[in-house]
Chain A
């Protein structure tokens, strides 16, 4: 599904990612952990095609297709979805209108007609119920005045609406209380299938108790310093990141 080879990326005079290798197969869930500033969000943004970052070396491909030349919206049309660590406010644009536009633009890119209104309505009803989102919430301006938790839940609502092939969740757990975390994780789990893949970026192993990963990678200073199974997350929780730092130095 996703294949990252020797990826180096950064901003003008700063190297942030320094040789990332990662293969994610259909049906898998990968967790990426690591201390603040290690490059987790940068990795997510580079996969999504954010042009603030320059790819200096290496490649990213999705289902065998090199993404280099593709604009962010084209990557989205191919099935990449990113849940933002810091979702952006768009005043005056309702959640519903935003989703309608997003879905229909993606359909247009695939040569499909707009989704019929009743179908859209059904989809909204189904997904908002799944994530226990109040319908009133959907007529509010996108992320404007939302609490941290509401923003994250709304990201997962969008994920559920768009049904991507590859979902990247960037610190979706931060800002969520334990009940919300369970609801959101539950929503994510429902999307798991043998055909799609999920990359979960997180600080804490808390979320991973609900979304159980097949692999855990530790990102440290722009490199994957260690990979393992789900037990690695527990080990990190116990020993902290210093332990990895020492291993890297050794």
Chain B
């Protein structure tokens, strides 16, 4: 099979979603629709204290007064928020049970997802929390972590066990009023992970959460809160999948990171929600608000590999509040077929000598649209702020689009801001060169794409870099036969 533009296109079209299975698990699902009673019911289901219920209800009232944003470079049929069920739990999952009690079908699902909860991950030093639909089903490794004083648990559990931390930090980085989806999430979030690293503790393993939407007609609204206390360190990874469905499923998550003085948080995401089929039918709407707050001398690094979802709206950001704090954003976003991604970051420089780095790699194929949107904002008091941004786009075929929207607002003259952007195409010459060396077209594309993405792949924790590479290959290649 030699490469022509036509054939490449065909190959890309035949790509299938590997995680598109649906698992028959009895589940406990709320009726569709959203109102204050549903919000109360979610809170009740989670056994929440009253302050939490009130918090949610306030968010719900805020959300009701807001309009869905239109400014992103994406076009889609607006979800009907009354046609979604806001709570779905696999019936047999009970967070208090041990692994032996976990539904074998769930375990089978994890196996298909490539997650093993046992020895394999232990060897790899990964603690995993898994959220299926709305409930956190298993958290491994808790004991080992507890010995170091590290808290890693479903957020619903943290609300019960550590209300002081939740009250102190939840909603401080992403307030309920922040945006339409954040308000919605604040009202109806069902689960997610909570993590607290005490002062001076370096978390000895990767912490990891897998999110999976299983039920049809449901939305997933998880909430993640990571707090790294002074001089602590944590590396956190989140992975996401969903079954193939004709309908569009909504995923509206909120992630808040707090790095106190001298702390460091690495947050990596491998997002592979169902992207829709090759005709653009179905797929997940991924509307996510992720933001981190950096205190003095602290550092937050976002690394993301985004290959899934029909529509992505996502800007992991850093508020560089403390002097000498550092924010980083490394991103690979792949779009194929009819996928649309509008993703990027916001770096807000408030403190002195704050530094940010943005490396964005967009890969577009098929009829997809891939946009980078970034804001670098330097406050008037942020002396000597520095930013470096690099946005590279790789195009495959002639029907896709790559767009770059870099915004710069510098209110301090000492700011140094650099921006570089490139757009390239996978050339027939590159493919032929590889072919001539015995490398077939499919492998050649994988090689070229991995080369293009290397600076970002290198930022991922080792064990996930391999996974991410495979994912890039799956996303871009069809069955060349």
Contacts and interface: CB of A to CB of B under 8 A. Distances in A.
Interface in B428-443: 428-430, 432-441, 443
A98 B452 contact: no
A87 B429 CA distance: 9
Contact of A90 (B4, B436, B441, B447): B447
B448 A93 contact: yes
Nearest to A72: B435
A88 interface: yes
A225 B193 CA distance: 76
A158 B438 CA distance: 12
B363 to A, nearest CB: 12
B450 interface: yes
A142 to B, nearest CB: 8
B451 A141 contact: yes
Interface in B404-438: 427-430, 432-438
A106 B430 CA distance: 18
A102 B437 CA distance: 6
B2 interface: yes
A240 B432 CA distance: 34
Given A51-B2, A88-B427, A105-B443, A158 B437 contact: yes
A88 B427 CA distance: 9
A73 B454 contact: no
Interface string A93-119: 100011001110110010000000000
Contact of A48 (B3, B434, B436, B452): B436
B337 interface: no
A228 interface: no
Interface string B436-475: 1111110100011011111100000000000000000000
Given A71-B2, A90-B430, A90-B451, A76 B443 contact: no
B438 A106 contact: yes
A50 interface: yes
A77 interface: yes
A82 interface: yes
Contacts of B430: 88-90
B123 interface: no
B2 A92 contact: no
Interface in B1-34: 1-4
A84 interface: yes
Most buried by B among A73, A77, A84, A98: A73
B457 to A, nearest CB: 9
Contacts of B3: 51
A92 B437 CA distance: 18
Given A51-B2, A72-B2, A92-B452, A87 B433 contact: yes
B438 A77 contact: yes
A71 B440 CA distance: 9
Nearest to A92: B451
B141 to A, nearest CB: 32
Interface in A47-99: 48-52, 71-73, 76-77, 81-82, 84, 87-93, 97-98
B contact residues, range: 20 to 34
Contacts of A73: 2, 434-441
B437 A76 contact: yes
A162 interface: yes
Contacts of A93: 447-448, 450-451
Given A88-B429, A88-B430, A90-B430, A76 B435 contact: yes
Contact of A72 (B427, B429, B432): B432
Contacts of A84: 433, 436
Contacts of A98: 437, 447
Nearest to A77: B438
A71 B435 contact: yes
A105 B437 CA distance: 9
A77 B438 CA distance: 6
Contacts of B455: 92
B452 A72 contact: no
A72 B436 contact: yes
Nearest to B457: A92
Most buried by A among B430, B435, B436, B451: B436
A154 B280 CA distance: 44
A103 B438 CA distance: 8
A51 B4 CA distance: 8
Given A49-B2, A73-B440, A105-B443, A92 B453 contact: yes
A90 B439 contact: no
Interface string B100-142: 0000000000000000000000000000000000000000000
Contacts of B432: 50, 72, 88
A102 B447 CA distance: 11
Contacts of B453: 92
Nearest to A103: B438
Nearest to B7: A51
B451 A105 contact: no
A101 B433 contact: no
B247 to A, nearest CB: 38
B452 A162 contact: no
Contacts of B439: 73, 101-102, 105
A88 to B, nearest CB: 4
Contacts of A90: 430, 433-434, 447-448, 451
Interface string B192-206: 000000000000000
Contacts of B443: 101, 105
Contacts of B447: 90, 93, 97-98, 101
A220 B430 CA distance: 29
B65 to A, nearest CB: 47
Contacts of A51: 2-4
Most buried by A among B1, B439, B450: B439
17 contacts: A49-B435, A51-B3, A71-B1, A71-B440, A72-B432, A73-B435, A73-B436, A73-B438, A73-B441, A76-B436, A88-B433, A90-B434, A90-B448, A91-B452, A101-B447, A102-B438, A105-B439
Given A71-B435, A92-B451, 16 more contacts: A50-B2, A51-B3, A73-B2, A73-B438, A77-B438, A84-B433, A88-B427, A88-B433, A90-B433, A90-B448, A91-B451, A92-B452, A93-B447, A93-B450, A97-B447, A102-B434
Q: Which 10 A/B pairs are nearest by Cβ-Cβ distance?
A: A92-B451, A93-B451, A72-B435, A76-B438, A102-B437, A106-B438, A88-B433, A92-B454, A51-B2, A73-B435
